[in-house]
Structure 1
Amino acid sequence: MTSAVVSRELRPEIETLWDYTQMHHQLRPVDVGIGLGGHDLGVAIRIADLYHRSTFPLIVFTGANAPTTVERFPRGEAVHFREKAIELGVPSEKILIEPNATNTGENIDFTRTLLQDKTSVRSVLLVSRPYQQRRSYAICRKRWPDVDVLCSSSTQPMDEYIREIGDADRVVNMLVGDTQRVWVYAAKGWAIEQDVPDHVHEAYARLVDAGFNKRLLPE
């Protein structure tokens, strides 16, 4: 049985990465809200909330399927996210879908192409899972350098988010993997380089040593 409670012994390290992987942007109105696909329907809920707050006039949901989302979202992540946003009162005509992307780079590239002939885009707000913010920001800055990029996600505290997902092990593995991608993607030229403080590297290393290595890439 999976646990929805983080390890008390490793809590400081988990909190360090949780804080680091979020951008803590102060939100302001932008041209387009972009909901990045994945297993977390909270992305669509957050997008709908921000739309109703007049943060953006147009939404794009982007995402096909990963092996972990096929069963939950059989018609594709973007399609299901759109349906959830409509259920929450967003007009259907205010939502575009990009149903082909299978990774964050494609999310950005395919959304950029989709919007190219539809509207002038000077600023975007990426809405993602909490721990995906920093990686998404860096990829967008690299692949779409002429737009102003902000990031957001569910505003739930870490423990509440993990309880809702229902699997602390999964969330921490994803958190560790996304942290590693900050420097791996930059080294590969897929994202801009970002500062990674020593205490973040140290927390990351302790969690890897503790066995949270299921989402790591070769370095």
Structure 2
Amino acid sequence: MSPETMALAQRIWDYHHVNHSLQPADCIMVLGSHDLRVAERGAELWLQGYAPWLLFAGGLGRLTLGLWQETEAEKFAKVARQMGVPEEKILVESRSTNTGENVALSYQLLQQRQIKVDRFILVQKPYMERRTLATFEKQWPGPKTEILVTSPQINFTDYPNQDVSMEEVISIMLGDLQRIKIYPEKGFQTYQPIPADVREAFEQLVAQGYTGHLMPE
């Protein structure tokens, strides 16, 4: 992969990060995916005392359906238990299949448990921070809640592993950026400004063929 392509992809990666400074919260909510490092980040934050509750949300999504036998939330919760988080502090929402459902069904679970949340720490993959923020701002059905977003503390060049290649990471990042652009009009997310240099990087990478996760427009 050329240095030029890597530089363009780095620009997209940086845009997807919202760079929030974390503060103590009422609940850490970890959104499901194929990346167990997200579960580890959530458990680390709980163990550091950032919140009394650790909620895992996610059934089987497009990247895990057919790959895993148990839901994303259940698999993530197992990671947290192995890291020392007590069972009674873990909440599991295992029916949702997308980020919007993560939000709605987690709200229902918290209501059932009578857990009031004024501030959330949301944990997601690094290249999904901004879309998670935008979705949560739009979809959260309860009273206004402060949202802080974080992800595994990994840089772009180190992120690919045996589960996801660099090429796949770039394609997924472009798909998420496209959704940030078009989903506000559909009522799925809040509007997020996209700087001109990020739009330019997107167009150049699409022209190079990183289109595997784009939606038809």
TM-score w.r.t. structure 1 length?
0.93
Match of 2:49 among 45, 54, 60: 54
Distance change (3 Å), C-alpha of 1:67 and 1:194:
closer
Corresponding residue for residue 173 of structure 1: 171
Cα offsets for 1:93-146 (capped at 9, x unmatched): 110100100000000111011101321111111101100110010010011261
- Identity across the alignment (%): 36
- CA distance in structure 2 between the partners assigned to 1:94 and 1:103 by the alignment: 24
Corresponding residue for residue 102 of structure 1: 97
- CA distance in structure 1 between the partners assigned to 2:121 and 2:85 by the alignment: 17
Distance change (3 Å), C-alpha of 1:142 and 1:166:
closer
Matches within 5 A, 1:148-167: 148-163=146-161, 165-167=163-165
What is the root-mean-square deviation in Å for CA atoms of aligned residues?
A: 1.4
TM-score w.r.t. structure 2 length?
0.94
Corresponding residue for residue 181 of structure 2: 183
How many residues are paired up?
214
SS for the counterpart of 2:122 is: strand
- CA distance in structure 2 between the partners assigned to 1:193 and 1:149 by the alignment: 16
Matches within 5 A, 1:1-219: 7-117=2-112, 118-144=114-140, 146-163=144-161, 165-219=163-217
Q: AA paired with 1:70?
A: L
- CA distance in structure 1 between the partners assigned to 2:108 and 2:164 by the alignment: 36
Q: AA paired with 1:55?
A: Y
SS for the counterpart of 1:65 is: coil
Question: Which structure 1 residue ranges, 4+ long, deviate > 3 Å from structure 2?
Answer: 163-166
- Structure 1: segments with no counterpart, 5+ residues: 1-5
- CA distance in structure 1 between the partners assigned to 2:65 and 2:190 by the alignment: 30
